[in-house]
Amino acid sequence: VLINNAGVMPVGPFLGHTEQAIRSAVEVNLYGVITGCRLVLPEMVARRRGHVVNIASVAGMVAVPGQALYAATKFAIVGLSTALADEFAPRGVHVSCIMPTFTNTELIAGTSTGGMTRPVQPEDIAAAVVRTLEKPKTAVSVPYSLRFIAAATAFLPPRARRWLAARTGTSRVFLDIDTAARAAYEQRAQSATGMLDRPGD
């Protein structure tokens, strides 16, 4: 079993992201997951059993202002996981993607979540992972009902989508941030890397 759970969440205005923040997000959130999959899948295929669980986000289904960079990486993980699930199912290997809403960790430091953007707890995600390992599914949202809401939102016309985002508070929650409260996290996140150097790579 592989649980791909590393990730960083840059938030704020798109034009405010530094080159380092962009590279770090892509390397950790996308390249790190790809690297993990490449390392374990050959052995799983050889044994004809195994399970890869990639932790993505609801941001991989519905993007909101202030999360453009983060959403780009999580949309990629959802697509990667879906394609891998279909490719490796005939070889006895499961690939799943967990898509939680905002999670009560330091990733949301400095944001004002609540109401429709109320975060879930890390324990909720852990429980979803356990259920997925026991009964494999390709896509799992946390909470479960969120997937249907996100799917419906994705098909709304732009004006309706923006109206709904304004009503639920998601249009500003990652733009109106407390930069001081996020400073320590952002500094660590920008220094993170998903690169893995191996002889011959």
Nearest to 74 by CA among 97, 46, 108: 97
Cβ(95)–Cβ(47) below 8 Å: no
Three-class SS of residue 93? strand
Cα distance between residue 157 and residue 47, in whole Å: 46
Residue partners of 64: CB distance under 8 A and separation at least 6: 71, 165, 170, 171, 173, 174
Catalytic residue IDs: 70
- Residues pairing with 99 in the sheet: 141
Task: Provide the 8-state DSSP code for 28.
Answer: I
Cα distance between residue 51 and residue 30, in whole Å: 18
Cβ(8)–Cβ(192) below 8 Å: yes
Q: How many CB atoms lie within 10 A of CB 195?
A: 11
Ramachandran class of 66: left when φ > 0, alpha when ψ lies in -120 to 50, beta otherwise: left
